[in-house]
């Protein structure tokens, strides 16, 4: 159904060519909007919604359907098994399918999300999936404890709790300190730190409450506080993190000086998968002594060799029995056993 909308004369309006296409995520954010010059009413699948003069409306460019508006009065909207009591003079969001995608709660409300009963805080936004059947995130009202896999986890009042498409808890902020055991390590996650789980209830990432050092493979690695550390659930050990300080990383026959506050990742055996150089550095790779540039991401397929990097200076590199010139800043790739 086409709805005629009159916009304020001072409104800046954007138009989009019909030939341009956006995927669902782009359409969600690249909406067209304007300020209403008079009251307008939309009849959607979820009922009739009226928006007052002087408030902003947004539309999905690919379809022209309503994306968001400011509610003119309190509303009750049913999606899936939940009924949402939404507040007037606050934003409401709709999907391309005219389902509810978000709104501001009028009061504290308890919702059924998968197997969990979760209480969300009044005057905060709750967001749903594109089809409106699944709650994706909301702000907690009070500290709340949930069973996630084999863990009882208490999440912090007024923090955002996120859910996966399987309606499992995917991440949140801890209300109290917790201890977890990995394959080779005990880790402590502090209050106010973020934590994440996969759909099976296994730890997938966390934030250390302070700079924390662990023996990983042949190296002692220190992760920076309040930066995410990822866990690979297949081997229940560290997958990646952010370095708390400049560090020397041993792998294979190499030693690399890695940059503070840079990302580092690991193989199953704890060997280096990738990291960023803290300085220009020379490596003996195959038949060549190669100078790699500061800031270069070095990558190792097996944790014993260097796969790629950027040259720190002009160099002649030997390939089989011949030397070839390469410019400073050139990206070079190596075979496992040689520099060709």
pLDDT per residue over 81-135, tens digit each?
A: 899 999 999 999 999 888 999 999 999 999 999 999 999 999 999 999 987 779 9
- Report d(CA 266, CA 251) in Å as an integer: 11
Separation of alpha carbons 87 and 95, rounded Å: 19
Q: Give CA separation, 128 vs 101, 143, 265, in Å.
A: 5, 22, 33
When comparing pLDDT for 3 and 205, which is higher?
205
184 DSSP 8-state letter: S
Q: Under DSSP, is residue 26 helix (H, G, I), strand (E, B) or coil? A: helix
Give yes or no for a contact between 256 and 248, defined as CB atoms under 8 angstroms apart: yes
Rounded to whole angstroms, the Cα distance separating 72 from 87 reads 9
Q: Residue 190: pLDDT above 90?
A: yes
- Residue length of the chain: 340
Per-residue pLDDT at 301: 83
Taking only the tens place, the pLDDT of each residue in 303-338 is 888 888 899 999 999 888 899 999 999 998 887 654
Q: Which range in 33-42, 140-149, 174-183 is most confidently predicted, on average pLDDT?
A: 140-149
Model pTM?
0.83
Query: Which structure tokens are listed for 273?
Result: 């998968």
Higher pLDDT, 5 or 123: 123
Phi-psi region of 61 (alpha: psi -120 to 50; beta: other; left: phi over 0): alpha
Model confidence at 8, pLDDT cuts 50, 70, 90, reads low
Distance CA 318, CA 325 (A): 9
Query: Using CA atoms, how far apart are residues 207 and 188, in angstroms rounded to an integer?
Result: 9
DSSP lists the bridge partners of residue 316 as 325
pLDDT, averaged across the chain: 87
Distance CA(98)–CA(83), nearest Å, equals 16
CA distance 154 to 145: 4
Q: How many C-beta atoms surround the C-beta of residue 210 within 10 A?
A: 12
Quote the pLDDT of residue 5.
65
Per-residue pLDDT band at 18 (split at 50, 70, 90)? very low
CA dist., res. 148 & res. 4, Å (int): 49
* Res. 4 pLDDT band, cuts 50 70 90: low
pLDDT at 135: 95
The DSSP-derived string for 236-258 is: TEEEEEEBSS-EEEEETTEEEEE
CB 118 within 8 A of CB 110: yes
CA distances from 260 to 104, 244, 245, 248, 293 (A): 41, 6, 4, 11, 16
228-264 pLDDT, tens digit per residue, is: 999 998 888 999 999 999 999 988 888 999 999 999 9
| Host H or E run for residue 25 | helix 24-29
Lowest-confidence region among 25-29, 161-165, 201-205, 208-212: 25-29
């Amino acid at each position: 159904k086409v709805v005629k909308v009159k916009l304020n004369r001072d409104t800046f309006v954007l138009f989009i060519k019909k030939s341009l296409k956006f995927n669902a995520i782009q359409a969600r954010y690249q909406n067209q909007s304007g300020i209403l010059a008079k009251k307008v009413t939309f009849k959607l699948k979820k009922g009739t919604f009226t928006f007052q003069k002087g408030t902003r409306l947004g539309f999905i460019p690919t379809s022209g359907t309503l994306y968001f508006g400011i509610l003119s009065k309190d509303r009750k909207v049913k999606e899936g098994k939940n009924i949402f009591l939404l507040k007037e003079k606050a934003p409401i969001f709709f999907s391309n399918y005219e389902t509810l995608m978000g709104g501001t709660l009028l009061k504290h409300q308890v919702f059924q999300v998968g197997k969990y009963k979760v209480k969300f805080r009044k005057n905060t936004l709750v967001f749903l999936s594109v089809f409106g059947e699944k709650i994706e995130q909301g702000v907690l009202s009070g500290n709340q404890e949930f069973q996630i896999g084999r863990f009882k986890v208490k999440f912090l009042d007024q923090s955002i709790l996120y859910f996966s498409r399987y309606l499992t808890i995917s991440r949140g902020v801890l209300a109290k300190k917790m201890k977890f055991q990995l394959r080779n390590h005990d880790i402590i996650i502090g209050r106010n730190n973020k934590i994440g789980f996969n759909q099976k209830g296994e730890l997938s990432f966390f934030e250390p409450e302070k700079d924390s050092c662990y023996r990983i493979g042949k190296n002692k690695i220190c992760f920076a506080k309040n930066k995410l550390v990822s866990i690979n659930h297949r081997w229940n050990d560290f997958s990646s993190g952010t370095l708390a300080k400049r560090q020397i990383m041993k792998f294979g026959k190499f030693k690399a000086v890695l940059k503070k506050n840079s990302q580092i990742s690991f193989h199953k055996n704890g060997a280096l998968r990738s990291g960023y150089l803290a300085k220009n550095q020379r490596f003996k790779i195959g038949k060549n002594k190669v100078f790699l540039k500061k800031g270069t991401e070095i990558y190792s397929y097996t944790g014993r060799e260097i796969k790629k990097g950027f040259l720190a200076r002009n160099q002649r590199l030997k390939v089989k029995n011949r030397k070839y010139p390469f410019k400073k800043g050139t990206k070079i790739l190596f075979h496992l056993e040689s520099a060709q």
